[in-house]
Structure 1
């Protein structure tokens, strides 16, 4: 059977650039899945995407499905025939449904007796017959939030369709897809090569489009952009800022990328560079340039979709367009400086944080109180912390943040520095929102740490206090992200603060606004602790390790983390499985007994194995207890691994439930002491083998 090359291209009006890559990947996935389901093997499949097209190129594909045998089971032989051998209605009905006689059915033996079966060979369909429906189904399954119809067509897609190409080698596969008849005609660049292109063969697709100024391969186009941008940046000893999302969007905007470097007036550099970068990236889709220290340079790179005979005109046009936007940012920056940052506190008193929890100024005062408490606990500057907290939300009432919401905290940091605030104060205003997302950096100053924690704890306590916790996938206040931020700061900044204490302080600051403080504390703390699992699972920590530590309910997230690392290390030891099983056995024994307090009587240690276990405990405890006191859990558990042999020997030769009550109690006390030593780190009995 011969192999073929198949090309499918859907030509559209300009597709959404932000979702072009997603559409390409989804189309490839959907077509691949359906080809596999149809039993059509192929050598290679690729997807292509440019602003006006989505395409699939399949190489080395069979022209037909293979024939297949379908088997349908009917009634059992016992139920298919009467005692005289004549078929029952069940057998007759089954045969009739299959379009054959009962005598044509075959019998197959099973472990439950013989059954009647109908087998038939189904001839595979041709590729030409299968592809149209397969491709239409794939298009229908694409992740498109909003679909549209064009003209009188009732068929929907993300953008109006303009043409459809469907070819097998050099022939057109007749089909109607998205209401368009298939052909072998595609179109090149809208301006450089607007005429129709007749493809002589499916395999000519990429080359034909390249000759028409279209790089159809999304990844190749992106690599061209990367290379051009880097070359232009290197020419002025700068580095381009290329966020992944912007990189994908720009790639989705152009068919024939031509990068050009332009400039803006150096006077704009006194404006917070985050504002300049924000407007150039978000509004103009430019790549900004910075020096080796990350300082913005008076250049930007735009990626044009045409190869102009006079690129200077394009450069000048972009410079003309960006100038008013930078001027706006400069204007807002100057306007904001006409009054002190603290003067905006009055506006915060008129802005609602949450209807039941008061204004933004109410929140600011609570943050100041809690942050001061935290700063005192961690050795921070309490006076500076209160000053920074009082200013922390003031920039929300500024012109700059009103125009550029993403600059909250950043704008306030600039204004505070310009007013001569201490460096940790101005820095903390910026750091209060860190971390903003998973993997983001944390605050570096103790002042910033204090405010970042206080802000999140205040939100958590307040929302739980009015009984609006996250439910299912709904988390309107972002409390899951808030909780992870709290845990990350406490752990990664190595702060030995108690979650209970912090939550209690946060709830107390709300005074009468929270009707049931004790329930709020309990619920908020439980929610924080529930985040441990998702946080550590994201790090690849096994669930049983997390459960082993959670069983002890450590008060400090830092202590929790140290125990997690120790148990994860212990779990990898060769002795871990046996010790976990032994601890489980000990836990089960002790759960059934009431063991009175008291010392182990060495005179009652009569079996060699129990003497050895006791002596090993005596030798280990002086080594382990100092480690536990220093929260040095990893070497502590490593020391306890030496207990494997004496524990195994104990259970092999010692009867714990002895008839002699004194002997039994002494052995239970020995196991209690053993169990307590392991429980000083985690409940390793919960570890799985």
Structure 2
């Protein structure tokens, strides 16, 4: 079967760098899934591009679908023909719908019995025709953080589409998207390139360098790093690479040119973070360091130009950075002229969330919760209180107003410069950790207590206002805050329940006369079940097991993690796991709709007394093991269950549960229901066995 290379290029106004990686992945996935559905063979699929073009290249794409055999079933055979073999109205209608005579219907075996039907060969379509239908859907389905509309068809895309190229084997594919019909004309670099005609994939790739286009992100990255490192080595310095910033810069340019700039040495008197904030956060420059690790008065620019022979690009960027650093030095001087406690007083005048009070109200709630939490972390309550009063003080500074990314860090620096105790400063700094899922955790107990309290109080505040985490959308940072709480509690191996902490935070809001919704407790439970399940799943557990552990762990993060680990290990022992699942299902089915008995200490039913004794011992042992698991210690959660399973096997063999006496039968079912509840203290086995489908 013949094959040809496919080229698809979507030319756009510059798309924000953060949107591009996911869009490229989605385009490759859409093409792969579509070709599989079409049963069309292909070679390598590559989705790539620059800020001004999203490109799909597919090698050796079969140009025609293979013919396929299709079986279509209709009414049951005994309803399609009567006793004399004559077609019924059902058969005639089915045959007419598919353009054949009733006598040509075949008897086809199906899971529901014989049916009337037909088998026919469907000729494969031209791939070019299929692409014309599929490409607009691929493009419309690309995920962008934000979309816009700009033309009359109402298509939504990250930025306006300006041209389309679509060709298969050098021949055009008739595609229309966003009011633009695909052609063979592409466009080069915005300033140094121009229109050029595309004849094939290889012709397109060969033409790009002459148009000052480095198509692939990995090639732009290599060009930036190699060129910058060579420049730095020539001046005896090194680039302070930031992978996240580099990923962004790679998708800001089409033809990267690394350049080194300078700034006045006197700015080096400012802390490194103050210098780096305008460099990295505002201008997308990379800091440069001396051989001893100190910050140099250099910075790396990545320009989207082929050259800078007269140094105009460097000079312009130096002027911009100098102005930004002058601002930073002014803010630094002005902020340090006032005590950090005065900056904290400004929080009384800043609203946190409408209906939840000011930032000062937030601070006071965090302080109360962190103080209560401090003994669990073996932290000093005095240090926690003092740090809580100051950890958001920099929100009242000019520096943070201008450079928001310094919030949390600059406050600690100001406090340190003004003689605040080191332990308090470190607690202030650590309260903001972790900022992201992979960031370092606070390393001091006071900081850890404050970090957890800060996030819990914020989460509960958002739940009070009805805010939610929906899919990938987390506008209030609730998912990030929850991950931070779980990471800190896990690292410290604390048997502290996130739901209990959240209820305590809710009480603090109530004490401040904030209106509490009737369903707040339900919101808290549901939020933490979802966040715990997602966190466990991200750590490697399957979705059903993650949900089952989160459902019953009572908000104890380390306990949930231990339960998941041990059930995963048990699954590798197929015989033991199946025995557990079979026993659980039998207990559940027999005791369905029965309340568990409340007391088995003095069990009087002689026939079931041995089982009751084993169950009582298992309950006691499991409680001890769950407590160990909650503290992050070695625990065996499965052993108590296995003891119950062995006793249950004997019970089912020797005792008739449905005794003649209804009262005895009811108590025995209640005993089994209590045994079932022992299993459910580890994970929700009912949910696990159902595959996570039960709500």
For Structure 1 versus Structure 2, the TM-score category normalised by the shorter chain is: 0.7 to 0.9
Contact 1:587-1:675 at 8 Å conserved across structures: no
Contact 1:6-1:202 at 8 Å conserved across structures: yes
Q: Equivalents in 2 of 1:147, 1:4: separation in Å?
A: 34
Which position in structure 2 is the counterpart of 1:358?
A: 357
Secondary structure at the aligned position of 2:208 is classed as helix
TM-score for the superposition, normalised by structure 2: 0.78
**1:360: how far off?**
1.9
Which position in structure 1 is the counterpart of 2:377?
A: 378
Which position in structure 2 is the counterpart of 1:536?
A: 536
**1:402: how far off?**
0.8
Q: Equivalents in 1 of 2:556, 2:515: separation in Å?
A: 27
Q: Which sections of structure 1, spanning at least 5 residues, go unmatched?
A: none
Q: Equivalents in 1 of 2:131, 2:551: separation in Å?
A: 57
CA change 1:104–1:136 in 2 (3 A) is farther
Matches within 5 A, 1:235-274: 236-244=236-244, 246-274=245-273
Query: Per-residue CA shift, 1:195-231, capped at 9, x if unaligned?
Result: 5545564433212323443222233223332333444
Contact 1:164-1:180 at 8 Å conserved across structures: yes
Matches within 5 A, 1:194-205: 194=193, 196-199=195-198, 201-205=200-204
Query: Per-residue CA shift, 1:220-269, capped at 9, x if unaligned?
Result: 2233323334444566453533243x334322232222222223233323
Which position in structure 2 is the counterpart of 1:40?
A: 40
Which position in structure 1 is the counterpart of 2:4?
A: 4
CA change 1:110–1:170 in 2 (3 A) is closer
Query: Per-residue CA shift, 1:499-530, capped at 9, x if unaligned?
Result: 57645654454425146699866864675466
CA change 1:488–1:325 in 2 (3 A) is same
Query: Per-residue CA shift, 1:548-573, capped at 9, x if unaligned?
Result: 76687558545555555555555555
Which position in structure 1 is the counterpart of 2:447?
A: 448
**1:289: how far off?**
3.4
Q: Equivalents in 1 of 2:494, 2:680: separation in Å?
A: 21
Query: Per-residue CA shift, 1:593-625, capped at 9, x if unaligned?
Result: 858655799xx8999xx79x989999x999999
Secondary structure at the aligned position of 1:256 is classed as coil
**1:330: how far off?**
1.6
Contact 1:344-1:395 at 8 Å conserved across structures: yes
Q: Equivalents in 1 of 2:545, 2:15: separation in Å?
A: 47
Contact 2:615-2:675 at 8 Å conserved across structures: no
Contact 1:434-1:440 at 8 Å conserved across structures: yes
CA change 1:531–1:136 in 2 (3 A) is closer
Higher Cα radius of gyration? 1
Contact 1:4-1:169 at 8 Å conserved across structures: yes
1:306 aligns with 2:309: no
**1:579: how far off?**
4.6
Which position in structure 1 is the counterpart of 2:388?
A: 389
**1:392: how far off?**
2.0
Secondary structure at the aligned position of 1:288 is classed as strand
CA change 1:645–1:274 in 2 (3 A) is same
Q: Equivalents in 1 of 2:684, 2:576: separation in Å?
A: 12
**1:477: how far off?**
4.8
**1:387: how far off?**
1.7
Of 563-572 and 3-12, more deviation after overlay is shown by 563-572
Q: CA RMSD in A?
A: 4.9
Q: Equivalents in 2 of 1:390, 1:241: separation in Å?
A: 35
Q: Which sections of structure 2, spanning at least 5 residues, go unmatched?
A: 691-695
**1:349: how far off?**
1.7
Q: Equivalents in 2 of 1:332, 1:181: separation in Å?
A: 53
1:50 aligns with 2:50: yes
CA change 1:413–1:588 in 2 (3 A) is same
Secondary structure at the aligned position of 1:303 is classed as strand
Matches within 5 A, 1:640-655: 643=643, 647=647, 650-651=650-651, 654-655=654-655
CA change 1:195–1:397 in 2 (3 A) is closer
CA change 1:257–1:383 in 2 (3 A) is same
Contact 2:412-2:428 at 8 Å conserved across structures: yes
Which position in structure 2 is the counterpart of 1:322?
A: 321
| Equivalent residues, number | 674
Q: Equivalents in 2 of 1:180, 1:629: separation in Å?
A: 65
